[in-house]
């Protein structure tokens, strides 16, 4: 005992803040719920906008979950982790950035009563992850294959994604997204490559009308020719792309030349002119109409090229050069001496330079087979254009996702309610220890239809209870994807009008007059009216990849936060103190 009564030993710095055990878990849950509450009102077609003033004085007006959370400065580590979920969801599939935060917050919220019942966080995680595995399997069963040539279904799918956005009242965004993705898609050896980030560039030009937005069959640059006498309108131009300078070679470090007489100075200038003339002759030999380089072009080179009737664009960004190469069929050349006929791009139909406002723009349009494009956005102000760009990025990501995995599930909370019902039923067959957490994983899914009802001011309890009862009828239980496809075809045939004999009486009671009964797993919430509706009739669909990614991200992140039992902050010195300590020596040097 005498050994145990020694002095207390402090292992950690006493300046740090520590939260341990239950206190740390409750702190994380509270932070998660707070972040979810921030963007809960931005879900659905009746969503509200958020206006955020950034540190530079700019204004962001949006209802996109990722854009809102990206601008918010939070201090709690769990809240920062939640915000990263939205960014990961946006980069992975481009949609569902709000849903994933709301779901993760609900999973954390429902874990709190389980923790209060002295259930271990590992047991809760086991129940959540077991439910996730089952939900992914059931999601594949609910999925319906999509024919990518079905223009109407594809358009409705993108409208479901952008229907909650500012641009929903302007149907132009859906058309732009479909056209842009079709342009950049490349199929080689059965593998699809859709790089919308690199090859579908958005160009925002203030002014004009939103209806003037369009996708070019080619590219556009905010550049003018380098010489006023160069041609600004060329049909079927021959395009040469360079990533080197058309100038005399300069020394990498300071170079000094000592000249003793005037004749030597004249010879030096002549050598420079000869070097530039040789470069220009190598370019002129290929008889291009346009030369585009990523580096500079000297005045002398401009003179020689203009005399050869060649237009020149200089200091073009690397990304723009790559897009022009894909659009015109040209190959970027690294030295004029290496250029050959195979480097020339001949697929551009028209090159012209126009002035919009105070800016000059170069257009490479009417390309034969462009695999890159520019999307021109017009709008009243920069705020409108920025929001349109965010909405268009979401729409293009949605199209890219469905192109990679052409399967659909119903939207409007129908999929969540169907999965919740299946989880409730399966929880009766789980081990008693994880059954509570397993059931909570299903209950959390109901937050999506509940939030849709909240945001359109409907009678939440009555409508959600009716929807839960509808799914509990079990008409659609155990359907395979093929069965769902048959039922979908029965409810909405090719003509577009519901068939009474197959779809039932049409009263929404789920009873038919004979034949196939409609699948209740397709029933969800109409976000505009706040009433129950058949998602097949409304045409509200979501890509199965988005839904699966939302569930995986939300549950796995909630499980990770629940496993944290200690938060330690303040382990390092503050940065200003380091600067203050380092300041005197610098001052002494300056004084000397």
Select from 309, 314, 305 the least CA-distant residue to 283: 305
Q: How far apart are CA 478 and CA 489, in angstroms?
A: 18
Among this protein's residues, is 394 annotated catalytic? yes
Question: Which residue among 62, 97, 401, 545 is the active-site one?
Answer: 97
Q: How far apart are CA 90 and CA 50, in angstroms?
A: 18
Given 42, 62, 64, 183, which residue is catalytic? Answer: 64
Among 193, 416, 218, 411, residue whose Cα is nearest residue 326: 218
As to burial, measured by CB atoms within 10 angstroms (0-12 exposed, 13-18 middle, 19+ buried), residue 35 is: buried
Buried b (16+ CB within 10 A) or exposed e, 169-206: ebebbbebbbbbbebbbeeeeeeeebebeebbbbbbbe
Structure tokens at 200: 């579908």
Q: Partners of 17 in the beta sheet? A: 569
Report the sign of the C-alpha dihedral through residues 457, 458, 464, 467, in that order: negative
Respond yes or no: is residue 64 known to be catalytic.
yes
CB atoms within 10 A of CB 479: 18
Q: Which two tokens stand for residue 130?
A: 């077991």
- Return the structure tokens found at 430: 């789980």
90 is catalytic: no
Write a three-state SS string for 146-179.
Answer: CCCCCHHHHHHHHHHHHCCCHHHHCCHHHHHHHH
Catalytic residue among 134, 394, 519, 534: 394
Identify the active-site residue in 98, 245, 293, 328: 98
Residues taking part in catalysis: 64, 97-98, 394
């Amino acid at each position: 005992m005498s050994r145990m009564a020694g002095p207390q030993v402090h292992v950690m710095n006493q300046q740090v803040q520590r939260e341990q055990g239950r206190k740390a878990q409750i702190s994380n849950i509270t932070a998660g719920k707070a972040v979810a509450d921030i963007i809960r009102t931005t879900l659905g077609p009746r969503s509200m906008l958020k206006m955020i003033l950034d540190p530079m004085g700019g204004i962001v007006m949006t209802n996109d979950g990722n854009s809102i959370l990206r601008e918010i400065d939070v201090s709690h580590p769990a809240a920062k982790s939640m915000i990263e979920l939205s960014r990961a969801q946006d980069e992975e599939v481009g949609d569902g950035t709000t849903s994933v935060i709301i779901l993760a917050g609900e999973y954390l919220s429902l874990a709190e009563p389980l923790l209060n019942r002295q259930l271990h966080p590992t047991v809760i995680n086991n129940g959540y992850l077991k439910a996730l595995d089952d939900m992914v399997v059931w999601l594949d069963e609910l999925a319906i294959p999509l024919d990518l040539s079905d223009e109407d279904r594809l358009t409705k799918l993108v409208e479901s994604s952008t229907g909650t956005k500012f641009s929903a009242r302007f149907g132009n965004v859906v058309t732009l997204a479909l056209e842009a993705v079709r342009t950049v898609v490349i199929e080689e050896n059965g593998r699809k490559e859709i790089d919308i980030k690199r090859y579908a560039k958005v160009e925002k030009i203030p002014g004009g009308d939103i209806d003037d937005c369009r996708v070019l069959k080619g590219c556009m640059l905010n550049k003018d020719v380098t010489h006023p006498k160069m041609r600004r309108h060329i049909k079927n131009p021959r395009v040469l792309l360079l990533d080197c300078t058309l100038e005399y070679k300069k020394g990498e470090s300071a170079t000094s030349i000592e000249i003793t007489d005037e004749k030597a100075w004249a010879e030096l200038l002549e050598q420079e002119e000869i070097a530039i003339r040789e470069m220009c002759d190598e370019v002129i030999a290929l008889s291009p109409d346009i030369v585009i380089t990523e580096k500079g072009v000297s005045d002398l080179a401009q003179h020689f090229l203009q005399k050869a009737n060649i237009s020149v664009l200089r200091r073009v960004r690397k990304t723009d050069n790559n897009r022009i190469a894909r659009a015109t069929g040209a190959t970027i050349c690294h030295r004029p001496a290496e250029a050959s006929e195979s480097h020339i791009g001949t697929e551009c139909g028209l090159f012209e330079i126009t002035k919009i406002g105070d800016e000059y723009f170069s257009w490479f349009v009417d390309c034969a087979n462009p695999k890159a494009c520019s999307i021109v956005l017009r709008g009243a102000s920069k705020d409108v254009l920025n929001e349109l760009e965010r909405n268009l990025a979401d729409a293009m990501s949605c199209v890219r996702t469905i192109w990679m995995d052409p399967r659909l599930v119903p939207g409007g909370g129908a999929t969540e309610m169907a999965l919740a019902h299946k989880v409730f039923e399966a929880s009766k067959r789980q081990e008693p220890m994880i059954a509570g957490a397993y059931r909570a994983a299903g209950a959390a899914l109901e937050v999506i239809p509940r939030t849709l009802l909240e945001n359109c001011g409907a009678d939440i309890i009555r409508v959600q209870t009716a929807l839960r009862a509808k799914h509990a009828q079990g008409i659609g239980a155990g359907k395979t994807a093929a069965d769902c496809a048959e039922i979908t075809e029965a409810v909405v045939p090719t003509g577009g009008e519901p068939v009474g004999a197959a779809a039932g009486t049409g009263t929404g009671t789920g009873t038919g007059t004979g034949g196939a009964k409609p699948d209740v797993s397709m029933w969800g919430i109409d976000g505009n009216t706040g009433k129950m509706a058949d998602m097949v009739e409304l045409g509200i669909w979501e890509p199965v990849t988005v839904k699966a990614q939302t569930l995986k991200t939300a549950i796995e992140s909630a499980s990770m936060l629940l496993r944290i039992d200690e938060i330690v902050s303040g382990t390092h010195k503050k940065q200003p103190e380091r600067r203050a300590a380092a300041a005197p020596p610098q001052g002494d040097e300056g004084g000397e």
